[in-house]
């Protein structure tokens, strides 16, 4: 018979720990959150809006990463931990609801309306506090971990949270820049405090968790394809554009899971102690963010491309993308490829010329995308990523330089 103490305690994990259904359930709110980030940028597709969307994504990424680390050392399906996860889900859901208005005050003056920026910041702070408090309770006798948690609170939680509160009092570009400073300080704080004290019990679990969030981001690209043509007739160009978009997403999926993920997990399993912690911090917490950001930016470009191809009343098939979406279509994919190359460099000690060259070309392709028809640009992107996949697959494997 299960006692009350067994139902409410935090249960440690073991080396062979795998992702639990509770963690998959937890990820559902981040599916919606990522969709909201794309909608935020699509509502006003400018460079400033892109920067603002990436700031919000970085903060959401931090919320997710906190509990990816925690779920690696404490079972997410145990009584107390599951209750924490559901609480965090509720808070992140509120955060997601505020994302479209996070740089505006459009509902603050409506009777019953709450100021979205302030609500966003308050909920973000609540997630960080819940994370630190649960980590503290997970190891009551681990003084090294508790010292790390204290340093994290002082360097990576309190100063950025203060800046986020300050930024909420401003509007537009000022708020975005203040919040960007908060993100930089937060990440720098984790870089400083993330070397000792943290524990990583299961490399397989950690790798799988991050693979799942990459799939969620890729799924957002597919959702963006459907959203882009909502309300328009399904014509032959729309079918072609949707197929090309799916081909691009499939190639990115293949590149990650057969060219990046396996080597990263293998290298992580080879290490122990603080060396494992540092590699996990660099490879997953830091370097997976460009991958996710790249997919979200590409989703924005696909959404605008499909919308333009479908909206024949306002656009012709010969018309190119304009402004920020023209860069986003290929630039987001380029960011993904460069992030993948950086992960391989960190885990093997070797450069990946195919990914670096392809990523650089895609990032720089914005002016060219703005000169060719939108459908042709999407076709060129799909062909480029597919070619990179084939070239990367034919590159003979070399032993890692790292010991």
Tens digit of pLDDT for each residue in 40-76?
999 999 999 999 999 999 999 999 999 999 999 899 9
pLDDT digits (tens, 9 = 90+) for 4-37: 444 457 888 877 888 999 999 999 999 999 999 9
Using one digit for the tens of pLDDT, what is the confidence trace for 344-367? 999 999 899 999 999 999 999 999
Q: Residues 118-132: what's their mean pLDDT?
A: 94
Q: Assign residue 44 a region (left: φ > 0; alpha: ψ between -120 and 50; beta: otherwise).
A: beta
- Same domain, yes or no, for 320 and 271? yes
**φ/ψ of residue 12, rounded to 5:** -65, 155
Q: Domain boundary at 199, 226, 242, which? A: 199
Mean pLDDT of the region 227-245: 94
Q: Which domain holds residue 282?
A: 203-398
- Flag the least confident range among 7-11, 245-249, 395-399: 395-399
Q: What is the DSSP letter of 168?
A: T
What does the mean pLDDT of the chain come to? 90
Q: Do residue 268 and residue 372 come from a single domain?
A: yes
Same domain for 189 and 232?
no
Q: Pick the closest to residue 63 from 33, 40, 24 (CA basis).
A: 33
Q: Measure the CA–CA gap between 259 and 351, rounded to whole angstroms.
A: 13
Confidence of residue 110 (pLDDT cuts 50, 70, 90): low
Beta-carbon contacts of residue 247 (< 8 Å; ≥ 6 apart):
382, 385, 386
pLDDT at 2: 42
Say if residue 175 is in the same domain as residue 245: no
Same domain, yes or no: 34 and 133: yes
Out of 199, 221, 244, a domain closes at 199
Comparing CA positions, the residue from 284, 211, 226, 175 lying closest to residue 27 is 211
Q: Is the pLDDT of residue 132 over 50?
A: yes
Q: Based on the fold, state whether residues 171 and 136 are members of the same structural domain.
A: yes
Is 217 within a domain?
yes
Whether residue 111 sits in one domain with residue 157: yes
Half-sphere exposure of 351 (CA within 13 A, CB side): 5
Q: Does 348 map to a domain? A: yes
Task: Tell me whether residue 2 is in a domain.
Answer: no
**Residue 390 resides in a domain:** yes
CA distance 243 to 375: 11
Residues 55 and 177 in one domain: yes
Q: DSSP character for 100?
A: G
Mean pLDDT of 311-336: 95
Say yes or no: 56 and 88 in one domain: yes
**Domain for residue 208, yes or no?**
yes
Residue 1 forms part of a structural domain: no
Last residue of a domain, one of 199, 230, 249: 199
Same structural domain for residues 258 and 272? yes
- Contact 194/135 with Cβ under 8 angstroms? no
266-313: pLDDT as tens digits: 999 999 988 999 999 999 999 999 999 999 999 999 999 999 999 999
Instruction: Round to whole Å and give the CA distance between 122 and 164.
Output: 9
Residue 296 sits in a domain whose CATH number is 1.20.1410
Least Cα distance to 303 among 241, 214, 367 occurs for: 241
Q: How many domains does the chain have?
A: 2
Residue 144 banded pLDDT, cuts 50, 70, 90: confident
User: With pLDDT > 90 as the criterion, what percentage of the chain qualifies?
Assistant: 75
135 near 70, Cβ under 8 Å?
Answer: yes
Q: Note the pLDDT of residue 62.
A: 92
pLDDT of residue 147: 86
Same domain, 186 and 217: no
Residue 9 lies in a domain: no
Give the separation between CA 48 and CA 105, rounded to whole angstroms. 17
The alpha carbon dihedral of 309, 310, 312, 314 has a sign of negative
Q: Rounded to whole angstroms, how far apart are CA atoms 161 and 19?
A: 30
Q: Could you tell me the pTM of the whole model?
A: 0.92
30 and 109 both lie in a single domain: yes
* Structural domain includes residue 6: no
């Amino acid at each position: 018979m299960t006692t009350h103490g067994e139902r409410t305690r935090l249960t440690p994990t073991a080396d062979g720990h795998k992702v639990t259904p509770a963690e998959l359930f937890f990820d559902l709110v981040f599916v919606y959150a990522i969709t909201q980030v794309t909608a935020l940028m699509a509502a006003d597709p400018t460079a400033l809006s892109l920067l603002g969307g990436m700031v919000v994504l970085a903060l959401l990424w931090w919320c997710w990463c906190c509990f990816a680390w925690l779920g690696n050392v404490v079972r997410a399906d145990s009584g107390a931990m599951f209750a924490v996860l559901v609480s965090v889900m509720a808070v992140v859901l509120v955060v997601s609801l505020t994302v479209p208005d996070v740089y505006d005050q459009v509902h603050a003056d409506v009777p019953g309306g709450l100021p979205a920026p302030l609500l966003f910041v308050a909920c973000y702070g609540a997630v960080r506090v819940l994370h630190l408090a649960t980590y503290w309770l997970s190891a009551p006798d681990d003084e090294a971990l508790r010292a790390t948690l204290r340093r994290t609170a002082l360097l990576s939680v309190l100063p950025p949270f203060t800046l986020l509160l300050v930024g909420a009092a401003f509007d537009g570009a000022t708020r975005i820049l203040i919040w960007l400073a908060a993100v930089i300080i937060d990440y720098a704080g984790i870089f400083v405090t993330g070397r000792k004290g943290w524990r990583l019990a299961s490399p397989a679990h950690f790798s799988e968790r991050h693979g799942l969030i990459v799939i969620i981001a890729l799924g957002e690209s597919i959702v963006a394809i459907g959203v882009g043509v909502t309300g328009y007739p399904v014509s032959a160009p729309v079918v072609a554009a949707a197929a090309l978009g799916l081909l691009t997403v499939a190639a990115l999926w293949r590149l990650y899971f057969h060219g990046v993920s396996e080597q990263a997990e293998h290298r992580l399993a080879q290490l122990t102690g603080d060396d494992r912690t540092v590699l996990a911090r660099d490879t997953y917490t830091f370097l997976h963010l460009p991958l996710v950001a790249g997919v979200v930016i590409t989703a924005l470009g696909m959404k605008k491309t499909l919308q333009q191809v479908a909206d024949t009343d306002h656009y012709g098939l010969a018309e190119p993308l304009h402004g920020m979406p023209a860069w986003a279509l290929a630039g987001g994919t380029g960011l993904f490829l460069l992030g993948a190359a950086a992960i391989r460099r960190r885990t093997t000690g070797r450069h990946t010329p195919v990914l670096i060259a392809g990523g650089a070309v895609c990032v720089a392709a914005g002016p060219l995308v703005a000169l060719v028809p939108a459908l042709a640009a999407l076709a060129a992107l799909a062909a480029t990523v597919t070619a990179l996949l084939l070239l990367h697959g034919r590159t003979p494997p070399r032993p890692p330089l790292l010991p």
